[in-house]
Structure 1
Amino acid sequence: MIVSITKIELNSYLKLIPFFKFNGQIIAELQQANCKKHKVVGSWNGKVWYTMTLWENENDINAFYRNGTHLAAMKQSAKFSSKIESRRIQNEDLIRWKEAKKLFGNN
């Protein structure tokens, strides 16, 4: 299994509403995709967001990421953030947020 973790730092608080709109649509599509589990958490100040998804294989991840709302969001990501990072790890389940954030150098 593959855990995909993304860190998104919004450019400004004005980007929260458009971010939530895309994020809501993406979560709805995740529930219809081959994604096994997902979760999202924001920082205390609302500017940094983390998403985590669990997939059986790279083909399922790529089929989701390169289509639909997620593809549209990636094309418009520069409007929301200039700081987007992703990591993928092999694991049988989603990991704890504390562990995930350490992958980005955050404690």
Structure 2
Amino acid sequence: MSITKIELNSYSKLIEFFKFNGQIINELKKSGCKDYKVTGNWNLKVWYTMTLWESENEINTFYRNGIHVEAMKQSKKISSKIQFKRMNQVDLISWKNGKKLFENN
């Protein structure tokens, strides 16, 4: 499982974030991803994504190909703070527990 926290540089980056995020979700639906979810904080400047995969190899293959690669190249324009965590899980965890993973960073 992979969890990503993205803090947008400004509200003006929301449209660009939504564009890439929508394209990435479309690719996730066609990939070997077992499950995924996305949520934002109330202020719309902090976003979280969570994906569940069979293996670390599948995660790496997805992240290094397609629209995700392009999104990563453009990410510095959107956010100066992107963090991620990887965990061995059989199911997605709750957002409450997922967000706690980033509290001390």
- Identity, in percent, stands at 69
Q: Give 1:86 shift.
A: 0.1
Separation in structure 2 between the aligned mates of residue 47 and residue 36 of structure 1, nearest angstrom = 27
Q: Give 1:29 shift.
A: 0.1
CA deviation digits over 1:13-56, x for unaligned, max 9? 00000000000000000000010000000000100000000001
Separation in structure 2 between the aligned mates of residue 105 and residue 23 of structure 1, nearest angstrom = 23
CA deviation digits over 1:40-74, x for unaligned, max 9? 00000100000000001011101100001000000
SS in 2 for 1:104: coil
What's 2:53 paired with? 55
Aligned mate of 1:22, from 15, 20, 23: 20
TM-score of the two chains, using structure 2 as the length reference: 0.97
1:2-81 matched pairs, under 5 angstroms = 3-81=1-79
Separation in structure 1 between the aligned mates of residue 89 and residue 57 of structure 2, nearest angstrom = 16
- Report how many residues are paired: 104
Q: Give 1:97 shift.
A: 0.2
Give the letter for the 1:79 counterpart.
K
Measured on the aligned residues, the alpha-carbon RMSD in Å equals 0.8
**Which consecutive residues of structure 1, in runs of 5 or more, have no partner in the other structure?**
none
Separation in structure 2 between the aligned mates of residue 100 and residue 45 of structure 1, nearest angstrom = 18
TM-score of the two chains, using structure 1 as the length reference: 0.95
